[in-house]
Structure 1
Amino acid sequence: MSLSIGSLAATLLALASGVLTSAAPARAATEITGTVVHVVDGDSVSFVPATGGEPIAVRLHGIDAPEICQPWGPQARDALVEHVQGHTLRLVVQGRDEHGRTLGRLLRGDLDIGERLVRDGHAWSYRYKHDRGPFVAQERMAQSLKRGLHADPGALMPREFRRRHGPCQDAAQGPVAPAATGAAPAAVAATSPGTAATATTGTVLSLRGDARRCDGRTQCSQMTSCEEATWFLRHCPGTQMDGDGDGIPCERQWCAR
């Protein structure tokens, strides 16, 4: 028996509805409660879950802070330290970046720390092709008010800085090194009894007394001493601190003969 056009349409509609209703619901974002134990730069941290375990190398989603060796890099890092030190935070995982780091939002209560950094002029909204990123409105406001890095009309976005000067371990030898800017990292308060946080002249501010841990740092500009660089070179994968392969890392910055 043949179906009428109306019956056939109704059957197809019912089948389509069944497919739609049986589709799996969208996966909820993973949320982890914990604390930041290292601040690498203005948009990268090491995060330890409250349940324990190894630190997670996190790149803040939606923002792009200055490289640590370019103007305003140290200030951006210090601003991030101020927002995370001594606080229990929520990490909302968004995925992974091209370097394998966890990409996520850091929340302190209702405050999105990445959004705040852009609004205060410590970072740009992250660009991807023609997309100006999630915080372009906050960036424009910071630019109009000349907040933070936007006080310098010649401020370069990190991508352009790297194109002109290369990565920080090379660029730090030039006139834009942190030492040449006159900027010094702010002191960091202790985050728990008996574990004073330490301000350093490198790219990492330790918020916990445990520095001997592979936490995603791979470059000389992220070290604080020759001893630390040597330990990372010997124990951690993916380090980029021994260009001539002689077993001595960071010969320009830390382990000069």
Structure 2
Amino acid sequence: MPRRLIFLTVAAASAFVAEWVMKHSESMQDIPAPYLSAPEPHPLIGVASVIDGDTIEVHGQRIRFNGIDAPESKQYCDDAKGFEYPCGRRSAEALDAFLAASRPVQCTFAEWDRYHRFVGDCRRADGASVAAWMVEHGQALDWPRYSHGAYAAQQAKAEAAKSGLWVGKFEAPWDWRASHAVGAAPAKQPLGIMSRKLVAQSGYSCEPRRTCKQISSCEEAQWYLQNCSWGGKLDRDGDGVACETLC
């Protein structure tokens, strides 16, 4: 092969590599060097511990669901009547109940995120997609930045049915995090502590705990469901309606 042709081939290859590095340097800088050279992890299978609505832990490994974003643990949203409720905690509880119905969970690796977490696509033992279920039931949002609209259909279904977050008003988790970064205003209230404003507006209180037999109306039952740490016990079938004999 002529030397001139060899030189041109090497030069073209070098230019291609340089261009590729420049295009990907921004995303690569968020990934620690040890992870760049590490082999792709095998799928993780096991009983999951729920961290929040889009993160679990299996065998000590944190796993972030690929392509969706759920409310943060300390995030509050508004229900259909404008009352605040702990939507982040509600999302985590919904995920925990969903996973418990068909164990173990299996997660296939997608990438490492900037926080060194395993980002993956997870399914229950029965094959149900965890991310798709969370979005379809309004407990998480399709995150177009990473999903490229993979769960747009499920989200449209949840919005039309006013499921989960879509029953009232909420701030997208990525926007909530941006507005609650270090130095920004603190979260509305710590988890587990009732807002005096809510109690004053409704006349209800989370103490003492109540059963459906002790509740007199559907509105009261829904308030406990959405605002009290024990409220989930009033919704035995997990459909978002508490004490259905009253509703």
TM-score (normalised: structure 2):
0.54
Q: Give the structure with the higher percent helix.
A: 2
Paired with 2:88 and 2:132, the residues of 1 have a C-alpha distance of 17
- Letter of the structure 2 residue corresponding to residue 92 of structure 1: T
Query: What percentage of residue pairs aligned between the two structures are identical?
Result: 23
**Residue in 2 aligned with 1:78?**
93
- Give the secondary-structure state (helix, strand or coil) at the position aligned to 2:122: strand
- Letter of the structure 2 residue corresponding to residue 123 of structure 1: A
- Give the secondary-structure state (helix, strand or coil) at the position aligned to 2:75: coil
Structure 1: stretches of 5+ with no match in the other structure = 1-26, 49-54, 188-257
Q: Give the direction of change, closer, same or farther, for the CA distance of 1:28–1:150 in structure 2 (3 Å limit).
A: same
Question: What is the 5 A alignment of 1:49-60?
Answer: 55-60=60-65
Question: What is the 5 A alignment of 1:41-56?
Answer: 41-48=52-59, 55-56=60-61
- Give the secondary-structure state (helix, strand or coil) at the position aligned to 2:73: coil
- Letter of the structure 1 residue corresponding to residue 128 of structure 2: L
- Letter of the structure 2 residue corresponding to residue 47 of structure 1: V
Matched, 1:151 2:144: no
Q: Give the direction of change, closer, same or farther, for the CA distance of 1:29–1:177 in structure 2 (3 Å limit).
A: closer
- Give the secondary-structure state (helix, strand or coil) at the position aligned to 2:50: strand
Paired with 1:42 and 1:170, the residues of 2 have a C-alpha distance of 23
Which string of whole-angstrom CA distances, capped at 9 and with x for unpartnered residues, describes residues 180-227 of structure 1?
37241657xxxxxxxxxxxxxxxxxxxxxxxxxxxxxxxxxxxxxxxx
Question: What is the 5 A alignment of 1:1-257?
Answer: 30-36=42-48, 38-48=49-59, 55-71=60-76, 72-85=87-100, 87-108=103-124, 109-128=126-145, 132-152=148-168, 154-166=169-181, 171-172=186-187, 174-175=188-189, 179=193, 180=195, 182-184=227-229, 186=232
Q: Give the direction of change, closer, same or farther, for the CA distance of 1:30–1:164 in structure 2 (3 Å limit).
A: same
Structure 2: stretches of 5+ with no match in the other structure = 1-38, 77-86, 196-225, 234-247
- Give the secondary-structure state (helix, strand or coil) at the position aligned to 1:171: coil
- Aligned positions, number: 151
Q: Contact 1:70/1:176 (CA < 8 Å) preserved in 2?
A: no
Q: Contact 2:63/2:120 (CA < 8 Å) preserved in 1?
A: yes
Q: Contact 2:44/2:58 (CA < 8 Å) preserved in 1?
A: no
TM-score (normalised: structure 1):
0.52
Which string of whole-angstrom CA distances, capped at 9 and with x for unpartnered residues, describes residues 169-190 of structure 1?
9633x25855337241657xxx
Q: Give the direction of change, closer, same or farther, for the CA distance of 1:176–1:139 in structure 2 (3 Å limit).
A: farther
RMSD (Å), alpha carbons: 2.9
Paired with 1:100 and 1:93, the residues of 2 have a C-alpha distance of 13
